[in-house]
């Protein structure tokens, strides 16, 4: 099969298109012919070796964790899926080896769910990692109807999902973002506030009593600012800094969960959740997609089209 591989740790310049063996399905596996995947900053961070302590790489390494495609084979122990099912999911294992930048990938049933009919392949590929992260963060700090939620980096991949999911729950959302992204956030129902000096005062004007919950997808002092704004420490969640736990908050490193994926699917079917796409690249232009991601200025998901 055709795949994008890294022969060693490195960046975009080390990515190669190669013919590699199809991954083995196994008794508990689901073989998926991929239609699309997406590029997340964690992909090139893993490729550079930054995550080696927690998720070591085995080379040649196929990057990618987001998957959208059609089931072509199931193992003997799998009863939840059958050949022909259209699925999407988050395919991550303890060792990085068989990723989703390829024509085929192997998933376990708990990593995937059926793709809603109203979700195109690119959107389905762009949803799992950022959608699961946002959902698991909001669950961690118990966001519910009537809450006011402060989302840092609200126009980013995780932030955009968090805004929409929180709004679907009936929450009010305050989102930090650069001025160029304010109209973008308004379209999703968030109240944008600009980064920079005076941010705390701007938040206090909007929420004098303090936010009920806060999600740090930005880093750089967002946890401390959330606490200063009056958020209960137990309702501050970060995907950037595990040290939030020392202050009584929650840290989330996204995990595969088929029930959470079904929740995301239901939200898209109810038209409460959309996946903005910034750019789509063919698989043989993956290096360009990484360079675009590394600018940190893309708004919406970067998709790799596979078939």
φ, ψ at 182 (rounded to 5°)? -70, -45
- What three-state secondary structure class fits 184? helix
Each residue's pLDDT tens digit, 146-187: 999 999 999 999 999 999 999 999 999 999 999 999 999 999
In the chain, what are the domain boundaries? 2-127+275-305, 130-251
Which residue's entry shows tokens 């675009």?
A: 292
| Selection from 300, 302, 277 nearest residue 290 by Cα | 302
Whether the model clears a pTM of 0.85, i.e. scores above it, the answer is yes
| Selection from 75, 68, 73, 72 nearest residue 114 by Cα | 68
Tokens of 242: 């595990």
Tokens of 45: 């961070």
Tens digit of pLDDT at every position of the chain (307 positions): 999 999 999 999 999 999 999 998 999 999 999 999 999 999 999 999 999 999 999 999 999 999 999 999 999 999 999 999 999 999 999 999 999 999 999 999 999 999 999 999 999 999 999 999 999 999 999 999 999 999 999 999 999 999 999 999 999 999 999 999 999 999 999 999 999 999 999 999 999 999 999 999 999 999 999 999 999 999 999 999 999 999 999 999 999 999 999 999 999 999 999 999 999 999 999 999 999 999 988 889 999 999 9
Tell me the C-alpha distance between 89 and 70, whole Å: 11
CATH architecture of the domain covering 130-251: 3-Layer(aba) Sandwich (3.40)
| Sign of the torsion formed by the C-alpha atoms of 163, 164, 168 and 172 | positive
φ, ψ at 264 (rounded to 5°)? -65, -40
To the question of domain 2-127+275-305 being in CATH 3.90.180.10, the answer is yes
Locate the DSSP E strands across the chain.
2-5, 16-19, 30-39, 57-62, 66-74, 86-90, 96-98, 104-107, 112-114, 148-152, 172-177, 191-194, 213-216, 236-238, 250-251, 277-282, 301-305
């Amino acid at each position: 099969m055709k795949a994008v591989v890294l022969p060693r740790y490195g960046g975009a310049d080390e990515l190669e298109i190669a013919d590699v063996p199809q991954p083995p399905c196994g008794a508990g596996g689901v073989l998926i012919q991929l239609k699309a995947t997406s590029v997340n900053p964690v992909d090139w961070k893993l490729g550079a070796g930054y995550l080696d302590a927690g998720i070591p790489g085995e080379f040649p390494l196929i990057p990618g964790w987001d998957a959208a495609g059609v089931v072509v084979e199931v193992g003997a122990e799998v009863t939840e899926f059958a050949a022909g099912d259209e699925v999407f999911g988050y395919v991550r294992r303890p060792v990085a080896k068989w990723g989703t930048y390829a024509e085929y990938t192997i998933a376990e049933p708990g990593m995937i769910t059926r793709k809603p009919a109203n979700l195109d392949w690119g959107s389905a590929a762009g949803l799992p990692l950022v959608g699961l992260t946002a959902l698991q963060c909001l669950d961690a700090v118990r966001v519910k109807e009537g809450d006011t939620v402060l989302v840092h980096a609200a126009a980013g991949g995780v932030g955009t999902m968090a805004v929409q999911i929180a709004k679907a729950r009936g929450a009010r959302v305050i989102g930090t973002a650069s001025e160029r992204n304010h109209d973008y956030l308004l379209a999703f129902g968030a109240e944008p506030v600009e980064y920079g000096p005076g941010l705390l005062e701007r938040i206090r004007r909007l929420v004098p009593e303090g936010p009920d919950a806060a999600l740090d997808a930005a880093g750089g002092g967002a946890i401390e600012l959330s606490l200063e704004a009056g958020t209960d420490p137990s309702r501050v969640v970060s995907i950037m800094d595990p040290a939030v736990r020392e202050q009584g908050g929650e840290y989330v490193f996204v995990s595969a969960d088929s029930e959470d994926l079904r929740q995301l699917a239901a939200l898209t079917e109810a038209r409460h959740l959309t996946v903005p796409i910034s750019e789509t690249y063919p698989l043989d232009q993956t290096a360009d997609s990484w360079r675009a991601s590394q600018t940190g200025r893309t708004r919406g998901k970067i998709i790799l089209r596979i078939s």
